[in-house]
Amino acid sequence: MNRSGYATWTMDTIRFGDTDKLGHVNNAAFSTFLETGRVHVLLDPARALNPPGTTFVIARLILDYKAEMHWPGQAHIGTRCKSIGRSSVVLEQVILQGDTVCALAETVMVLMDETTRKSTPLPDSAIARLKEIQVAV
């Protein structure tokens, strides 16, 4: 797995409570790990992409499970921007445990106005930041 294919990396701790009776990390925990990666990119307090009064919401999530994960350990989440729309962004993510690819995901995130509850255009500053994490593959 070539880690340079993903522009940003973050880590989350696998908790005992993430496991199920089969002894591996439950499928629902994978979504939480992906959220950790998205928050790292979209809501970084130093460079948040959403203007006041807006928030990002998930419009679509495609999650392919590739391998089991086990406790104890760490989940390493790689994130990159696949494409940018008027009010949406498509993120591609990978979850690793060690060098093992455990999941691949594609998420469509839409910028939503918190008052109208409707999509709103991405600001130029957000588009510029998203272009920084677009990786040619």
Q: Are 55 and 114 in contact (CB under 8 A)?
A: yes
Residue 62 has pLDDT above 90, yes or no: yes
Question: How much of the chain, in percent, has pLDDT values that exceed 90?
Answer: 90
pLDDT of res. 136? 64
Average pLDDT over residues 70-95: 97
Tokens of 97: 């445990």
pLDDT band per the 50, 70, 90 thresholds, residue 135: confident
Using alpha carbons only, give the angle 4, 10, 98 rounded to the nearest 5 degrees.
70
State yes or no: pLDDT of 92 exceeds 90: yes
Which listed CATH number (3.10.129.10, 3.40.50.2300, 1.10.3720.10, 3.40.605.10) goes with 3-132?
Answer: 3.10.129.10
CA-nearest of 127, 128, 49, 35 to 79 is 35
Q: Where are the domains of the chain?
A: 3-132
pTM of the model: 0.93
The stretch 37-59 carries a mean pLDDT of 93
pLDDT at position 137 is 54
Three-state SS annotation for the chain = CCHHHCCEEEEEEECHHHECCCCCECHHHHHHHHHHHHHHHHCCCCCCCCCCCEEEEEEEEEEEECCCCCCCEEEEEEEEEEEECCCEEEEEEEEEECCEEEEEEEEEEEEEECCCCCECCCCHHHHHHHHHCECCC
